[in-house]
Chains A and B, each alone.
Chain A
Amino acid sequence: MTSVSLPPSLIQTLPGSVYTDPGVFVREQERIFEAMWFAVARSSELSSPGQFVTKQVGRENVIIVRGRDGALRAFLNVCRHRGARLCQEESGQVRRNIQCMYHAWTYGLDGALVAAPNLTKMQDIDRSEYGLVNVHLREWLGYAWVCLADDPPSFEDEVIGAADERLGGADVIGGWQVEELVVGRRITYDVKANWKLIIENFMECYHCATIHPELTEMLPEFAQGNAAQMFVGHGAVFAEDAKGFTVDGSEGQQNIPGVDADHDRRYYAITVKPTVFINLVPDHVIFHRMFPMSADRTVVECDWLYLPSVVESQADLSRSVELFDLVNRQDFAACEATQPGMSSRAYAGGGVLVPSEHHINEFHAWVQARLA
C-alpha cells in the first residue's frame, strides 16, 4: 500500500485491484481456500451411505460422501483415468460406488478403485494407486470441514481456536450444542461481490445503523457502530423490550439448554477464516459458509439451526429466520454496491477505515501475508 499521510482516525484499505484481479483470486484460491480448513456441508445432509454433495473449494471440485461404514470422506471429483468429473450433480445418492460416466471406472465409497473394463487383464495396475485423490476431512459443530493441503494446518488452532479466541474461553461454544442442532432453514445467496468484501462487512458494524434498522432495534449498541467482533467474549445485549431474536422482537424458540445465564439474551459473532461466520443467540445458531467462485462472485450458504424438538414440532420459524435473512440481504446488497467501485480509478489506491473499522486492518494484513 502506498503510504499517504492519513489523519490518525483513518487507516488505508487494500487497493481496489485486490478485489477484482483474477490473478489475485487464483493466488487466494491456492494459498487460502486450498490451504486452510473449509466448511463444506452439514454432516446430517449426508445421512445414508452413498449420499454425496459436491462443492467448489478453491480451484477444485470436491465430493463429500457418506461411506458404507458410516464415515464421511472427501475426494477430488476427478476420474483417475482420463479426468472426467465423476459426480456431475451438486448433491445426490449413489447406490454402492462412484462410477465414471465415460469409461465406467468404478470407485468404492472409500475411494478405492473397485472395477474398470478389462482391469483384470491389466495385472500390473495397483488398484490402491489409482483410487480417488483423498482430501482431509474433519467434523466439528455438525459440519464437514475439508482441507486440500497435503499437510493441513492444525484444526484445533485454526478452526476451534478461532471460536475460542472470540468467545474468550475454551469450548465456550459448546454451550450452544451446535452439532446436535437441526437445520430449520437454509438459504443460499449468490452474491456478486468479492469474498473479502463480505468478510469485511461482517467484521464491522459502522454500517449497522444505516442499513440494518431491524437488527439495530434488536441490538441497540449496534447503533454505536461497534461490532461484536471487536471484542473478546462480548455479546451484544438484546433490547429490553425484545422477547426474542426475531424480526419484530417477538418470542423466539425454546432456548438451547447449554446456553447459561451469562450468555442469555445476547448475540455473539465469530469469523473462522477464511469462509465461515457463526452467529450465536440463545435459541438458535446462524451458520454461514462462503464459497468464493470468482473475483466478483461468492455463493453463501446460510443455515438456521434449532433444537431438534423445535424443528420436529414444525414451529413457525419465519420471524426468527426473517431477521438475519433481512440482515444478509441488506449486507449483500451493500457488498454488491461496493464491488463495481473496486475497479474505479477513484479506488485504485483503496479507501479508508474509521476507528470502529480499524480491526479490519488485521484481516488485510493477514490476506497480504498469505499472498506474499
Chain B
Amino acid sequence: MIKVCAVADLPEGEAFRLELEVPIAVFNVAGEFFAIDDTCTHQDASLADGFVEDDCTVECPLHASCFDLRTGKPNGPPAKEPVRTHSVVVEDGTIFVVRD
C-alpha cells in the first residue's frame, strides 16, 4: 500500500499526483476515490492536471481524451489505449493506493 494523503487534503473534483516511477493520479469524485496511471496514453501529459467530469471520467488537459476512472478506458481519440487502474483504500482518514 502506498500512502497518498489525508482525505481532507483531496477535495471533491481534485486530483493528487503520486510521484512514482510510473506516476499514479488519485481523484475524488463526489467523495469516492479512484486511482489510475497518471500519464495519458496518447502523449505525455499528467491526467492529474486534467478535469474531472461528473460521469466519473477525467479529461486529459492536452487533447481532451476522457478516461473512465473505473475502467481506465478512453472514450474516444486521440488516446486509444487504456490507462491502468488501481485500488484505493481509506484507513483512519488517510488514502492509500494498492498497485494492481
A83 located at the interface, meaning its Cβ lies under 8 Å from any Cβ of chain B in the complex? no
B32 located at the interface, meaning its Cβ lies under 8 Å from any Cβ of chain A in the complex? no
B80: A residues at CB distance < 8 A:
none
B1-9, B42-50, B65-73, B82-90: which lies at the A interface? B42-50
Beta-carbon nearest neighbor of A120 in chain B: B46
Contact A120 to B62, CB < 8 A, known contacts A96-B51, A114-B49, A115-B49: no
Cβ-defined contact, B51 with A119, below 8 A? no
| Shortest CB distance A107–B (Å) | 10
Contact A115 to B51, CB < 8 A, known contacts A104-B63, A120-B23: no
Beta-carbon nearest neighbor of B17 in chain A: A120
A97 located at the interface, meaning its Cβ lies under 8 Å from any Cβ of chain B in the complex? yes
B28 located at the interface, meaning its Cβ lies under 8 Å from any Cβ of chain A in the complex? no
Cβ-defined contact, A97 with B61, below 8 A? yes
Cβ-defined contact, B43 with A119, below 8 A? no
B39 located at the interface, meaning its Cβ lies under 8 Å from any Cβ of chain A in the complex? yes
Inter-chain CA distance A121–B43, complex, in Å, is 12
Q: Show the binding face of B for A, using Cβ within 8 Å.
A: 17, 23, 38-39, 43-46, 49-51, 61-63
| Shortest CB distance B59–A (Å) | 8
Cβ-defined contact, B61 with A117, below 8 A? no
Cβ-defined contact, B44 with A115, below 8 A? no
B61: A residues at CB distance < 8 A:
97, 106, 114-115
Cβ-defined contact, A117 with B46, below 8 A? no
A3 located at the interface, meaning its Cβ lies under 8 Å from any Cβ of chain B in the complex? no
A99: B residues at CB distance < 8 A:
62
A121: B residues at CB distance < 8 A:
44
Beta-carbon nearest neighbor of B61 in chain A: A115
| Shortest CB distance B51–A (Å) | 6
A118: B residues at CB distance < 8 A:
44
Name A24-43 residues within 8 Å CB distance of B. Answer: none
Inter-chain CA distance A97–B38, complex, in Å, is 20
| Shortest CB distance A104–B (Å) | 5
Contact A115 to B46, CB < 8 A, known contacts A96-B51, A120-B23, A120-B39: yes
Contact A104 to B44, CB < 8 A, known contacts A114-B49, A120-B23: no
Cβ-defined contact, A115 with B62, below 8 A? yes
A120: B residues at CB distance < 8 A:
17, 23, 38-39, 44-46
| Shortest CB distance A308–B (Å) | 33
Inter-chain CA distance A117–B63, complex, in Å, is 10
| Shortest CB distance A48–B (Å) | 17
Beta-carbon nearest neighbor of B39 in chain A: A120
| Shortest CB distance A282–B (Å) | 49
Inter-chain CA distance A327–B23, complex, in Å, is 65
Contact with B along A77-106 (1 / 0, CB 8 A): 000000000000000000011010000101
| Shortest CB distance A227–B (Å) | 54
Cβ-defined contact, B46 with A119, below 8 A? yes
Inter-chain CA distance A106–B43, complex, in Å, is 14
Inter-chain CA distance A96–B45, complex, in Å, is 16
B39: A residues at CB distance < 8 A:
120
Inter-chain CA distance A118–B50, complex, in Å, is 14
State the 6 A-B residue pairs at the shortest beta-carbon distance, nearest first: A115-B61, A115-B49, A118-B44, A120-B46, A104-B62, A117-B43
| Shortest CB distance B28–A (Å) | 18
Inter-chain CA distance A115–B38, complex, in Å, is 13
Can you identify 9 A-B contacts, CB atoms within 8 angstroms?
A99-B62, A104-B62, A106-B62, A115-B45, A115-B50, A115-B62, A117-B43, A117-B45, A119-B45
| Shortest CB distance B67–A (Å) | 15
Cβ-defined contact, A117 with B62, below 8 A? yes
Inter-chain CA distance A111–B51, complex, in Å, is 16
A96: B residues at CB distance < 8 A:
51
Beta-carbon nearest neighbor of B42 in chain A: A117
Beta-carbon nearest neighbor of A104 in chain B: B62
Beta-carbon nearest neighbor of B48 in chain A: A120
| Shortest CB distance B13–A (Å) | 11
